Structure formats: C-alpha cells, structure tokens
Homo-oligomer: A and B are copies of this chain.
Amino acid sequence: MTASLDALPLARRITGHAYRAGASLVTTLFTDEEATLMRYHYAPDPSFDRAAGWLYDGMAAAFRSGAARLAITGANPSLLANEDPDKVGRANRAMSRSYQPALELITRFHINWTIVAAATPAWAAQMFPNDAPDVALGNLWDAIFATTRIDSDDPVAAWKAHDANLQKRAAFLNEKRYAALKYRGPGTDFRLGLADDHQWLGGGSTAENGLYCIPNMPTEEVFSMPHKDRADGTVTATKPLSHQGTMIEGIHVRFEQGRIVEMRASKGQEVLQKLIDTDDGARRLGEVALVPHSSPIASSGKLFFNTLFDENAASHVALGQAYTSCVRGGEKLSPEELAGKGANKSLIHVDWMIGSEKLDIDGITASAVAEPLMRRGEWAD
C-alpha cells in the first residue's frame, strides 16, 4: 500500500480490514510531501536524474510473489507548482523508468490492484479555496463519497450495480467491434482508429491470480486501445489539464496518421510541448475512453485536480503508453506483436478530456457504416 502521511487514518482502517480479510502482511510505504519539497530545495542537481530503483524493483518482486497493490491517492495537486519544471520533468522520467517493471505487472493485471482516494488538507484547500480548512476537508470527503456511491443507502449494492452497468457497456462495444470512432463537437472533428483485436474494458477486472478487482474507485469510463497510427483530424480539450502542478488550458491539437503535428494551448503551452517531446510515443494516443456527461463526476462540475476523478468527468483520450489489457490476449504478446496491433509505447500516460454535452460520437463499422454511439454527451441507445 502507498499513502501520503495525511492519509494515515484511512491507511490504518484499510490495514485492519485487509488483515481481517486474510492478508498475511500489509506493508505501507508512506510519502512525506515535506521531504519531497526539501529535495527540490536542497538536493544537488544530478539528484533529479535518480530514483529509488531498489524500492520499485522490490515492489515488482513483491508482485511476482503475489502481493496485491493498493494506492491511496490524495496528493497536494500543486505541490511542485513552484519548483523548476526541468527538475520536475527529470525526476518524473527517472521515476517512471524505475517503476516500469512494477507498473507493467500492474497494468497487465498480473496482480489485483486498486486506487482509492483520501481527502487531504492541501487537496481540499485547492478544490474549495473559499471554505475554512475543516469545511473544505468535509466537502472533499463528501465529493469522494458521492463519486464512489458511498453516499447511497447500500453502498456495496450501489457499487455492484454501477460496475455491472460498465461491464454491460464494454460487452456491447466488444460485440460491435468498431474499426474507428468519429468525434464531432465544437473545435473537434476527429477520427480515431481502434487497435486490431482491441478490447473494451470498464469497471472491475479479473486479475491473472483469479481475483476480481476494481482498479479505480471511482470509475465511470469504458476504455480501449486506439491504433497508434490511426488518429486524424482536430481535437479541442473541453477541460483544463492539470499536469504536475501546472494548469494547461485551451488545448487544440491536430493529428495526422496518429501523430500530433500541430499543437497550441492558451496557457501552459511550454509544459505541454515538453510533455509531448518526452519520446515518440508521447505524441500518439494510448487510450480512448467514453464517459457519459451525466456521470456523478461530470455532473458535479468540479475539477478535482486528480486524474482518478478528472479522467472520469468526460470522454477522453490519453497521450502515451497503451494498456496491454486492452488487446485480446495482450498479456501473452511480445512488444513487437503488440506494436503490430497498434499499441503505443511511451514513458508517459496523460489523460486529456475531450467530452462535453456538445460532443457526438459515432462508431464506424468494418464496412464503414456510421452508427450513433453518443449524442450530446450521452449514450445514444
């Protein structure tokens, strides 16, 4: 389990429940945001190309011997907002490289895993800047409870019904086997080809160890793998993108054969440019996700400054790394075979909201027939 120190009370409750549910050993790695800041303020410059590889390798070893993974998110969204973007970028790259083997075991569901959220003071202050600290914290907990259905009379039943609905949507799309999606909305006219043998997922998954797990709580999306070479047209973001403490706004992008060939942002353009310059895959798409505009996160109208929530606020695409699990039998394919089906590869994976109540999406069949999939941001059926 990983948690920020502010999430200690939730980490403890989860620990107790995990042992009662039969866990043999719960090991929690706590992150101290003050220590992270001290690194940026005092550490020598070459430090920022280093990461705790020994720890991430250790996590990968734990996953190989069957450990489950639970992450409690709740970091201060603007912790690094005032730090040198070059250092932030280098530290993130070093970390991503080190974490790769562990992350690969997670994303292909070698183990069961879950990400949940805990309200923390800094996060609450950013979301509810006009409220007193304790009111803001209470508001954020309420928002977390609402989006995870904890505020309903029978939260477990409500969550199960929600999960079943997501599974049903994914099954429908898997039966349809669309060759591409066509997006039309203000500033958006975009055709996105889907990967060969792509698979739509939503809600829970059965991990390779046979355990059913909900990787994200909340989750509102059904998602799949776009073909890395088959994105064409213009896309306008419908929400700001909060990336490592910087807000990137007014993003407008043009794709040709899968690659971003033109990009502008009304705010944070430099950070976005740096992001898509990470590697070749950083300017291609690795994920496509559909979220109805009526979902609790979208209808809350709130920006959470946290991907776990904000990626569920609207239909989106992600720049960068594709999920192996979004190709049928993907976990058994070599990197070359995956690339052959259209899977993108990158050190980054950044979600990017393009859905709104004004967006229409068609599914394009193998025989080039357009079928209405979403209309004005809602499922068309």
Nearest opposing residue in chain B for A65, CB measure: B54
Q: How many copies does the complex hold?
A: 2
Residues on the B chain within 8 Å of A20, using CB: 42
Q: Does A12 contact B (CB under 8 A)?
A: yes
Nearest opposing residue in chain B for A48, CB measure: B24
Q: Does A39 contact B (CB under 8 A)?
A: yes
* Interface mask (A257-282 → B, CB under 8 Å = 1, otherwise 0): 00000000000000000000000000
Residues on the B chain within 8 Å of A38, using CB: 12, 15-16, 19, 26
Taking a contact as CB atoms closer than 8 A, the residue among B28, B32, B34 that contacts A35 in the complex is B28
| Beta-carbon contact of A27 and B52 below 8 Å | yes
- Binding stretch for chain B, among A56-64, A201-209, A234-242: A56-64
* Interface mask (A125-164 → B, CB under 8 Å = 1, otherwise 0): 0000000000000000000000000000000000000000
Q: Does A333 contact B (CB under 8 A)?
A: no
| Beta-carbon contact of A59 and B51 below 8 Å | no
Taking a contact as CB atoms closer than 8 A, the residue among B32, B39, B47, B65 that contacts A11 in the complex is B32
Q: Does A301 contact B (CB under 8 A)?
A: no
Q: How large is the interface on A (under 10, 10 to 19, 20 to 34, 35 or more residues)?
A: 35 or more
| Beta-carbon contact of A23 and B43 below 8 Å | yes
Decide yes or no: A43 and B25 within 8 Å by CB, A32-B12, A35-B15, A38-B15 being known contacts.
yes
CB within 8 Å of B: which of A64-113? 65, 67
| Beta-carbon contact of A32 and B8 below 8 Å | yes
| Beta-carbon contact of B54 and A59 below 8 Å | yes
Nearest opposing residue in chain B for A24, CB measure: B47
> Which of A25, A50, A59, A67 gathers the greatest number of chain B CB atoms within 10 Å?
A25
Q: Does A380 contact B (CB under 8 A)?
A: no
Given the complex of chains A and B, what is the CA–CA distance between A51 and B55 in angstroms?
16
Nearest opposing residue in chain B for A26, CB measure: B35
| Beta-carbon contact of A25 and B54 below 8 Å | no
Residues on the B chain within 8 Å of A42, using CB: 16, 19-20
Give the 7 A-B residue pairs with the shortest CB-CB distance, closest first: A58-B58, A19-B42, A24-B47, A54-B62, A54-B61, A19-B43, A54-B58
A-B contact pairs, 20 of them (CB 8 A): A5-B30, A8-B32, A12-B34, A19-B42, A22-B44, A24-B46, A25-B43, A25-B47, A25-B50, A25-B52, A26-B38, A26-B39, A29-B29, A30-B30, A30-B32, A53-B65, A54-B61, A54-B62, A57-B61, A58-B58
